[in-house]
Structure 1
Amino acid sequence: MTDTPIVQYPDANGNRAYVKTHWQAIDGKPDLSALGEMKSPDGTEWKVSIDNNGNVQSGQSMEDVSGFIGKYSPLSTDFDNFWGYSGDDLGYSYTPNETTIKLWAPTAQSVDLLIYDSPNSDNVNRTYEMKRGTIFNQNDHDSNTIGVWTVTLDGDYGKNIGTAYRYSITFPDGHKTETQDPYTTAISYGGDKSVIIDPDNGIAPDGFTTNYVGRVDSPTKAIIGEMSIRDFTKSVTSGVDQNKRGKFLGACQAGTKNPNFGKSTGFDYVKSLGLNYIQVMPMFSTYSGDANSSDYSWGYDPKNYNAPTTGFASNPKDPRSAIYDLKTMIKAYHDAGIGVTMDVVYNHVGGDAMQSSFEKTVPGYYFRKNADGSLSNGSYCGNDFRSEAEMSRKFILDSVKHWQSTYGIDGFRFDLLDVIDTTTAKKIEESFDGKNILLYGEGWNMPTNLPENLKSMSDNSVQITSFGFFNGTYRDQIIGTNSRPGFVSGNSSYNESDIVDSLLASDFSQISQNLQYVEVHDDRTLSDNNWYHNPNDDEATHGNRMALANAMVMLSQGMSLIQIGQEFWRNKNMNSNSYNAGDGINALNWDYLQYHADTVQMMRDVIAFKKGEKILQSNDRGLANRFVKIDNEVSGSKIISMTIRNSNDGKKIILLNGSTSPVSIGSGSASDSRLKNNYSDTNFDYKNYMISSSNVSQNNGAVTIGSIGYVVIGFGG
C-alpha cells in the first residue's frame, strides 16, 4: 500500500495521460487501490481512486475526463457502465427565478448553450458555456454526472412565448455540431429550436387533469378507434370550422354537421359510436409536419419525441399553442368518457439519422449497427434506434412517462414494437404498473440487428404480458391477403377451426394480449380490400361483407380496434400505402355517413353488445372456457357459431356466415350438412333481442342468415 502521490506522466503532446494507461506503464506494478494524484502540465490536480486492475473506482470527483473520451466504443456496455446517467433532470428545469439545463454528451470536449432573440428568430443573442459534471459513480448512475453538461440561467426564461435555445457541441477531433435538445418538450415553428416555457403560463385549459378516471381495468374492455388528426377533419364535408380543420382543436370541435346531409360529424360522431378510446396517429414533432406544410404525411418520421407537433396547432409560431391545443383535445375526449392512446415511434428517427439530435449529441451511440458498421435498418426507414443501450432505453422510458404525466395519455400504441428490445418493454410495463395504461403494438419480426429472443414481437409475448399485439393472423383470416381471400371476401381456404382459435385469442398466453382488427392506416381499407377481391359485387353484397368483417372484430375476445371511417366504407382508391398520397386520398369523406348509415348502425350495435358482454371483455381464460361453447366450425362450411352462457341462465347465440348461401337455425329449420348444431331445440320467437346484418330474417321459431351475414340472439339472463 502506498500513500505517496504518483508523479506526473504527460503524454507525447504534454497532456495528461490516461489514468489506466498511466498506471500500467509504471514498472513494478504497485498496489493501485491507493488514492492516486496526477498533475497535468498546468498543475491542476486530478484525484481518483483506482483498483489493482487499473480501473477507476466509483464515488470520486473527476475534474478532467478527457483521457477517457474515446476509451470505450459507444456501442459497448463498458461505455454505458462508465458514462451512463439515470437522473431525471435532463432537458430544462424551470422556475420563475432560474432555469437549469442539462445535456448528456459524454464524448464532447465542450458544450455551449445558444440563446435566441425569440423562438421565431434565428439570431443568437447570448452564448453560455456549459460545465461538465465531476462526480464519477459507476455504482449509482443517478449521481454519475461526468457525462452531463449543465448551465443555470438566472431570471425568468419561460415568460411570454418562451426562450429558444440550441446546443453548440465541440468534439475532441475538432468537429462541431449544432442541435436542439433531444429532451425538448416545446419547440419553435419547424422544430429546429427547443423552447423554455413556464408550465403555468397558459398551456392548459381550465379543468385539465392527467388523472382520467375512465381507463378500463382490463385491456380486453378497450374498444379503440384509430384517428389521424389531419384526416379526421380536413375535408369540408366534416363541417368543422375552416381554421380548425386538420388541427387538434378540429378533432374536438362539438356540434359539427356534414354540410350536405346534416349528420353529426367529427367529435360528436365518435361519441355516438360507442368507442371508449381513440388511438391518435403520430402527434409529436416530425420532420414532415412541424412546418405546417401543405405536404401530406402520416407522421412516422420523428424529430422531437417529447413535444407535440406545431403542424396541428392553431398558432404554430407560438410554442405554447400546440401544448394548449393538445391538452384541450384530450380534456374534451376525457370529459366524453373516451381515453386517448398515443401512437409512438421509438423504433427509428425520421430524416437522416446522422443529422438527428441524438447523433449530433453523442455520435455513434443511439443507432443500432450491423457487423460491417452500417446502420441496421429493420424498420425500413433507414435506421433502428438502439433501445438496448442504457441511455436510449432511458430516453424511451422518460418519454412515455413524460407524455403520461404531462398530458394524461391513457395508452401507447408502439409502431414496430418488435424493433424495441424486451428489457425496455419490461421497464415500460414496470413504469405503468397499476395505472391501467394500455400498452400494445406491432409485434411482427422485422430484420433489425437484435437477437430473436430479445425482440418485443408476438412470438415473445410471454416475456411482456402487459403488452398487446395486433393479430395479423385473424385479420388475414377475415379479409384475406393479396393472393388469398378471407372468410368474408371469397372462396377462403382458411380452416374454420383456425379462425375460431384466433377469435378466442388462443395464440396468446393472455387474452388481453390479443388485439383484433381488420383495418388500420396501413394497407388497403376494408372497403377497398373487399372490392379488390370481389370487384363485381353489387352494393348490397359489398355491404354485407363490410358488416360481417366489422362484427367479427367486436364479437371476439381481446381488444378491438377499428380505423374511424371503416364503418362507413372509407376508401383510398386502392392505395395500400397512402402515407404521402395527400388529402384527396386520405381525408375522411363524411358524406359517406349518409350513404352507408346502415353499416354505421350495425357497428354501433356490435360495439354496444361487446361493451355489455362480460365474457367477451374478460381476461380470464378459465371463465371463457367455461361459458363459451363453439357449436359450429365444420371445415369448408364458412360458418362459425357459438353459445355464450352466463351465471343467470341466460345465453347468447352468435352465428357468422361467410358462405354464399343462406343458413337457417332454430326450431322449424331443416337439417344442414354444414352444421353440427342447427339449434333445433331453440325457438327463436322467444328471444330477448337480436342484432344482425341486414340480410337476416325470422319466421316460425327459426332465423335465417343470408349469405355473408351474422346474427346475435339473446335469451334470458
Structure 2
Amino acid sequence: MQNVKKPIQLEAYLDTFSKVTLVIHADDIGESSFFVKDDTKVYPLLKLAEERGDGRLLLHMYVQEELPLGKDYFIVGSHGETYPLNTGAIVRTEEFDKRFAYDGADLGAVYTPEWTQFKVWAPTATNLRLKVWESPGAVKEYPMERGIRGEWHIKLPGDFHLKEYCYIVRVNHQTNEAVDPYAKAVTANGRRGVVMNLAKTDPENWKRAHRLPSISKTDSIIYEVHVRDFSIHPESGIQSKGKFLGFTEGGTTGPNGTVTGLDYLTSLGITHVELLPVNDFGSVDELGKYPNYNWGYDPVHYNAPEGSYSTDPIDPACRIKELKQLILALHERGLRVIFDVVYNHTYIREASSFEKIVPGYYFRYDRGGNPINGTGVGNDTASERAMMRKFMIDSVKYWATEYKVDGFRFDLMGIHDIETMNLIQKELSNINPSIFLLGEGWNMNTLLDENKKAKIDLAKKLPGISFFNDRFRDTVKGNVFTTSREGWIDGNPSQTIDLKECMTGNCNSLFLDPGQSINYIECHDNHTLWDRLSIIHPHEEEQIRRRRQRLGMAFVLLSQGVPFIHAGQEFFRTKFGDPNSYQSGDTVNRLDWMRKAHYENDVHFFRKLIQLRKNHAAFRIRFSEQIKKHVSFLENEQDGVIAYWIRSVQSIDSWKEIIVLFNQTLEERTVKLPGETKWIIAVEGDRINEAGLYKLDEPRITVSPLSFTIVFLPS
C-alpha cells in the first residue's frame, strides 16, 4: 500500500516586501522546498534561517524580487499543497509607511447634494467594494478603484444623505464587512456608517455662535462630569435624564429648591466642562429599554457620538444635533467644552474597523507577533505609524471644527508618542489658539521607546500639553493604589516638602510652566475623596472629614497650576466605597442632587473660593519665572503648618502680599507673620470676604485645626 504524506500545519506571513516567515507546527519536516505563487507568477523561496522550539519550526525565507501588494499569494510545498500567505510584520515596517501613507484630507464619506465620494485606506486589500442600503430592502454594491497609495475610492452621483453604507474588504484571503473608520454618523449600536449632510444637524444659532474668548490655562478651572451621571437622579429636576439634552435645560431645581443642571454649572464659576467619552462606545446597548451603564472608555467609532445619550438612537442625525445642542448651551453660558478622547485602544481589536481593513497595522505587537497590552484592555494602538497618527489628528480636528470643541483630554496618553501629540497640538492651535490639551501621562508598559512616550516625566518635550499631576494628588491625599499611604490632609507630615513643590506648579522639576500641571485630588477613577477619607478615618466625626476634604480642595484652587474638580466633589460625592465604578450603574455613579441640597453651605463656600481665585491673579501665575520670583514659604517652627507666601504681586493683583496658612493637625497652630504691618484676614473658617473680615492687631495668627486661613496686605 502506498504511503500518503500527511499535509503539514503551516502559517505563512509576509514580513517585508521580499521576506516570508513560515510557521510550521512540527519539529521536523525533512527535505522540503517552498515557493510563492499568485495568479500569474511563481517566486522561488530561499532559506535565510530557521528556529526551533515549543514544537514549532520557523523558517525565515526570502524571494529575489519584491512581492507587490494587492494580490492573493499562496505558499506551495514540495507536494503541491498550498497555504495562504498573509500580510505579517510588513505593515509595521517604515518602508510600508513610506510607500503607502496617504496624506489626503478626504478619507471617509465626503458629501455634497450632487454627489458623495467614498474613500478608504486599505493597501493590503486585494478587492474592495462599497455596500449601500439605497432604500429599505434595496442593497447595492459598487466596485471601488485602488489608488497609488493604497486608497480605494468611488464617487457616486445623487443625494446620498442618510444612506447607510459599509465596505466589503478582501484581505488576507478573507472577506470582511467593515464600517468606515472615518464614519461621522452611524446606525444604532454602530452597525453601519451613514452618509450625513452635517448642515442639517446644526441647531438654531449654531452658525452665529462664536468661539468664547481665549483664556490662559492657569485662568481655567475644569469640571469633569459623565453625561448620564449629570441628570439621571430622579430628583434632578431635569426632563432629559441621562441624555445630551440634559445639559441644555435651564431653570431646573431639585430637593428643597436646590439649583441643579445647567444653572448649577453656570453658578460655580468654572470655565471648562470636561465630558467623559461621548463618542460611540461598545459596552452599552443603545436599543435597550433600560440601558446598562458604562463610563465609555471602550471606543468603537471615534468620530460619531454615542447613541445612548440621544433621545432617538435609531435616527443617526439625532445624536449629532443633540450633542451640538449641548455644546451650544454651554457656550452660551460662557462654559467651554473638553472631550475625553480614547485613541489608545479599541473596544475589541479583532472586531474593529482598523483590524478588518488593514490587519496588523493600527496596533502594537511584540516581536513574536502578539498584541501588546499596555492599556490593560487587550490592545494598544500604534500612534507612531503614519496612518494611526493621521487618524488621530484628523479626528480631533473634525471635533474641533464641526462641533466647536474647546479642548481634549487624552486617556492613557503615555501610550502615545511625543511626536504625534506635538503634531496634534500644532494642528489644533491653528484652529483654536486657546485649545486646551491635557492627558494622563502615565508611563505605560507598551512597546515604544522610553524617550518617545508622551509621559509626565518628559512633559518638557510637550510644551503645549498639560498633565494630570499625580504627584500633587498623592501628596495631598495619599497614594491612590493603597489606603495605607496617607496624604498631607490626613496628617502625614512627611509630604510637606513635596507638597510645597506641587503648590508652585512643579516648575522646579516636572514642568516648563504651571499651565502644564493639572492639580487634582479626585476624578472619575479610584475612590472619591470622601470615600477614601471614610476608609482611612472610619471613626472620625463627619465634620472632621469634611474639614479634611475642604482643606484638600483649597490646595487645588489656591496652588499654582490648573484646578481640576470631579463633579460632586464640592458636596462630598460618595460612590459608597466603590473604587472603580465604570460599570456600577446609576445608583452608585449618579450626581446626588439631594446630597447637594444637604451640603448647600459647603457648595456656597466652594463657589466663593473659586471666585477668589478668579479675582486674584496671584493664585494663577502663568510663567515659572514669576513663580520663582514671587512665591515662597514662611520659615516657621510650627509642625503641621504650611505658610504659602505670594509676595510683591501688586503689578498683577489688587493685593500686594498674600499668605495662605494650611493646618493639617487636630490642634490650633499660632504662626508669626512677617513684618510689623497689620495683616487683613480674607478667609477664616467658613467665612470669605475679599474686602477683609478684620485686621490683625499684631503680626501673629492662630489657625484652627484642619483648616486654612488667608491673610493679605492691600496694594
TM-score between both structures, scaled by the size of structure 1: 0.84
Return the match for 2:583 from 573, 580, 585. 580
Q: Which runs of 5+ in 2 are unaligned?
A: 1-34, 47-63, 74-84
Q: Which runs of 5+ in 1 are unaligned?
A: 1-10, 25-52, 57-61, 136-144, 666-676
Match of 2:20 in 1: none
Contact 2:115/2:160 (<8 A) preserved: yes
Shift of 1:436: 1.1
Match of 2:168 in 1: 168
Cα distance change, pair 182–633 in 1 and its aligned pair in 2 (3 A): farther
Cα distance change, pair 516–480 in 1 and its aligned pair in 2 (3 A): same
Return the match for 1:417 from 413, 417, 440. 413
In 2, the alpha carbon distance for the partners of 1:166 and 1:176 equals 13
Return the match for 2:702 from 698, 701, 704. 704
In 2, the alpha carbon distance for the partners of 1:703 and 1:364 equals 66
Matched to 2:223, the amino acid is G
Matched to 1:100, the amino acid is Q
What do the CA deviations read for 1:255-297 (whole angstroms, capped 9, x no partner)?
A: 1100x21011011101000000011000000002361542110
Cα distance change, pair 191–542 in 1 and its aligned pair in 2 (3 A): same
Return the match for 1:336 from 304, 324, 333. 333
Return the match for 2:314 from 305, 308, 317. 317
The SS at the match of 2:166 is strand
1:608 aligns with 2:611: yes
1:562 aligns with 2:565: yes
In 1, the alpha carbon distance for the partners of 2:70 and 2:370 equals 33
The SS at the match of 2:327 is helix
Cα distance change, pair 155–545 in 1 and its aligned pair in 2 (3 A): same
Match of 1:267 in 2: 262
Matched to 2:141, the amino acid is T
The SS at the match of 1:500 is helix
Match of 1:488 in 2: 489
1:326 aligns with 2:323: yes
Cα distance change, pair 392–124 in 1 and its aligned pair in 2 (3 A): farther
What do the CA deviations read for 1:31-69 (whole angstroms, capped 9, x no partner)?
A: xxxxxxxxxxxxxxxxxxxxxx9889xxxxx99777899
1:357 aligns with 2:349: no
1:106 aligns with 2:123: yes
In 1, the alpha carbon distance for the partners of 2:138 and 2:170 equals 18
1:447 aligns with 2:453: no
What do the CA deviations read for 1:84-129 (whole angstroms, capped 9, x no partner)?
A: 11111000111101100001111111111111256xx6x5521111
The SS at the match of 2:256 is coil
The SS at the match of 1:237 is coil
Matched to 2:486, the amino acid is P
Matched to 2:146, the amino acid is R
The SS at the match of 1:238 is coil
The SS at the match of 1:661 is coil
- Pick which of 527-536 and 355-364 moved more: 527-536
Return the match for 1:694 from 683, 686, 696. 686
Cα distance change, pair 592–546 in 1 and its aligned pair in 2 (3 A): same
Percent identical pairs in the alignment equals 32
Match of 1:50 in 2: none
Return the match for 2:274 from 279, 284, 292. 279
Matched to 1:263, the amino acid is T
Match of 1:41 in 2: none
Matched to 1:585, the amino acid is V
- Pick which of 281-290 and 517-526 moved more: 281-290
Match of 1:502 in 2: 502
1:250 aligns with 2:246: yes
Contact 1:628/1:645 (<8 A) preserved: no
Contact 2:89/2:360 (<8 A) preserved: no
Q: What pairs up with 1:452-531 in 2 under 5 angstroms?
A: 452-481=450-479, 482-490=483-491, 492-506=492-506, 507-531=510-534
The SS at the match of 2:489 is coil
Cα distance change, pair 300–635 in 1 and its aligned pair in 2 (3 A): farther
In 2, the alpha carbon distance for the partners of 1:502 and 1:474 equals 5
TM-score between both structures, scaled by the size of structure 2: 0.84
Cα distance change, pair 236–620 in 1 and its aligned pair in 2 (3 A): same
Cα distance change, pair 71–348 in 1 and its aligned pair in 2 (3 A): closer
Match of 2:538 in 1: 535
In 1, the alpha carbon distance for the partners of 2:334 and 2:303 equals 25
Return the match for 2:144 from 106, 125, 130. 130
What do the CA deviations read for 1:194-244 (whole angstroms, capped 9, x no partner)?
A: 00011222443323467412331x211110000100001110121101xx1
The SS at the match of 2:129 is strand
What do the CA deviations read for 1:118-151 (whole angstroms, capped 9, x no partner)?
A: 6xx6x55211111111x3xxxxxxxxx3x11111
More strand by share: 2
Contact 1:690/1:713 (<8 A) preserved: yes
Matched to 1:511, the amino acid is P
Contact 2:645/2:657 (<8 A) preserved: no
In 2, the alpha carbon distance for the partners of 1:413 and 1:12 equals 48
Contact 1:210/1:408 (<8 A) preserved: no
